[in-house]
Copies of this chain bind each other. A is one copy, B any other.
């Protein structure tokens, strides 16, 4: 059973967009704006830090009609990775020294890096960089419950990928880090980038293609407020069932409807039009209607959110977390309260709510110790 979400203890927001400013802004995050082409690493890079601590945010995938190709990062909750050069580890290898954090993650997650989200992503980045001379030790702190629909595995993978890259001077492009994260996601939840891409890049990201990888940033206007009400019930969403319940074939009519909503969703994001965004978010006729009945109370929770003034509400990822959007933090808290109540009255489930704003930064280094 998932444990309640708890906002993380990052320093308070220092700008109007309610972002946590990274202590080290990753060069690769800037490069990503202009290019997503893989750099050729010609020689093994040397570490520039003895150790560093990275963070990657929670993500909301699908967003209704954006099923399997759209996601966004939300601030205030996420996972940490502490990565150190460790002379006791075989050069070119990585060990997971500890797993701590929310709920029972330490007992549920493997410390074998080949079977751990963070480990797999870290190994992929080490391979891309050609690290052979240095051994690494990784410590994972989970701020996100497993199987919550908030991109828990992607947050671990993103934090690990950025940590390894930055430890060695940030040589890789964002697209490489997303590919490393995809190696991890493929083993855990399927080859989908709608969590890992926004976890690394921040903001809203549309995945247009995998071959070649084509990621489209969808910048939400900086002068508009957007808050996500994330309500996580104490309920384990049966992941296999959540996939199995999806239709393999859909009608042309349904396709046209959902595609038009996807287009409207993108327009709502880019234009910062919360009413339009919320309307589209709530209008999925293919995925949500099949999944919502598997989450006790979800239909009533959505209604409660809308009645309380949310612009839109749907299932976050594959659930069970419900996500609603609004333009004020205060209103967000009120909506969250109503959604928590509805999970109890309609689904007999305890739930907890947090109100987050858009994380526009994505995975980042938060502290570091230079060599």
**Interface membership of A244, Cβ < 8 A:** no
List of B residues within 8 angstroms of A349 by Cβ: none
Q: How far is the CB of A287 from chain B (nearest CB, A)?
A: 9
Asked if A32 lies at the interface with its beta carbon under 8 angstroms from chain B, I say: no
Query: Are the CB atoms of A264 and B68 closer together than 8 Å?
Result: no
Q: Which of B251, B263, B279 contacts A206 (CB 8 A)?
A: B263
**What band does the interface of chain A fall in when counting residues whose beta carbon is under 8 Å from B?**
35 or more
Give complex CA distance A42, B68 in Å: 49
Interchain CA distance A67-B258 in the complex, whole Å: 11
* Bound form: Cα–Cα A267–B256 in Å: 18
A337 to B68, CA, bound (A): 40
Asked whether A286 is an interface residue with its Cβ less than 8 Å from the other chain, the reply is yes
Instruction: Report A211-224 CB contacts with B as 1/0, cut-off 8 Å.
Output: 00010101000000
> Are B286 and A255 touching (Cβ within 8 A)?
yes
A208 x B252 contact (CB < 8 A): no
Does A227 touch B at the CB level, under 8 Å?
Answer: no
Query: Are B252's CB and A252's CB within 8 A?
Result: no
Collect the chain B residues with CB atoms within 8 Å of residue A276's CB.
216
Tell me if A106 counts as interface (CB < 8 A to partner B). no
Given known A-B contacts A216-B276, A248-B251, A252-B248, A259 and B206 have beta carbons under 8 A apart: no
- Bound-state CA distance A247–B256 (Å) is 12
Q: Is A260 a contact of B65 with CB atoms below 8 Å?
A: no
Residues on A facing B (Cβ under 8 Å): 65-70, 206-209, 214, 216, 218, 246-252, 254-256, 258-267, 270-271, 276, 279-280, 286
Q: 11 A-B residue contacts at CB 8 Å?
A: A66-B259, A66-B263, A70-B263, A214-B279, A218-B267, A250-B250, A250-B255, A255-B286, A259-B262, A260-B262, A263-B265
